[in-house]
């Protein structure tokens, strides 16, 4: 049971924070600032124009990761529902925080998204339709096994 709480709290707190404050983006921002400082001080650079363009270009927004960020808390909160009734509340908080984190990443730290087909939306809807099955399996699995505290 503590592991389930830890997983749910991890998804509520850390997942949106890692999306909003992407370590790879901050490494790129550090590289940009060091490049600006070296050019402002008059140092000669061995970087080509293509390397400079890549350094100052924002990363692409990948919608597939955003869809996965929606499905992960949904499946976790449904799977752990039999043993964690407050898991639904944590899952909803996680979804709201993830929404704002992905929105921030899309508007502030990304260039135009990769074009994808509409199949990813249909696959996500199919996976969401499997939630009652996941709940049934978790009820049988988690409630049939005796818990020793």
CA distance 69 to 87: 16
How far, in Å, are 13, 28, 40, 55 from residue 80 at the CA level?
Answer: 17, 38, 55, 43
Mean pLDDT of 70-93: 82
52 close to 40: Cβ distance less than 8 angstroms: no
Predicted local distance difference test score (pLDDT) of residue 149: 54
Res 1 pLDDT > 70 = no
Res 146 pLDDT > 70 = no
48 close to 102: Cβ distance less than 8 angstroms: no
131 close to 75: Cβ distance less than 8 angstroms: yes
Predicted local distance difference test score (pLDDT) of residue 94: 84
Better-scored residue on pLDDT, 143 or 101: 101
- Model confidence at 140, in pLDDT bands (50, 70, 90)? confident
Res 56 pLDDT > 70 = yes
Predicted local distance difference test score (pLDDT) of residue 111: 74
Predicted local distance difference test score (pLDDT) of residue 144: 72
Mean pLDDT of 6-28: 82
Residue-wise pLDDT for 96-136, tens only, equals: 888 888 888 888 877 776 667 778 778 888 888 888 888 88
pTM: 0.66
CA distance 52 to 43: 15
- Model confidence at 147, in pLDDT bands (50, 70, 90)? low
CA distance 66 to 54: 24
Structural tokens at position 9: 């709290």
Res 37 pLDDT > 80 = yes
Residue 111 pairs in a beta bridge with 60
């Amino acid at each position: 049971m503590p592991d389930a709480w830890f997983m749910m709290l991890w998804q509520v707190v850390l997942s949106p924070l890692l999306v909003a404050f992407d370590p790879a983006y901050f490494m790129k921002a550090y590289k940009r600032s060091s490049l600006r400082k070296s050019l402002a001080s008059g140092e000669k650079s061995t970087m080509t124009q293509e390397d400079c363009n890549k350094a100052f270009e924002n990363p692409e927004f990948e919608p597939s990761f955003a869809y996965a960020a929606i499905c992960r808390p949904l499946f976790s909160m449904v799977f752990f529902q039999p043993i964690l009734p407050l898991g639904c509340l944590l899952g909803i908080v996680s979804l709201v925080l993830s929404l704002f984190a992905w929105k921030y990443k899309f508007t502030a730290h990304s260039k135009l998204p990769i074009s994808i087909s509409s199949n990813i939306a249909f696959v996500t809807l199919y996976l969401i339709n499997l939630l009652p099955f996941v709940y049934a399996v978790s009820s049988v699995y988690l409630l049939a096994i005796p818990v020793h505290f």
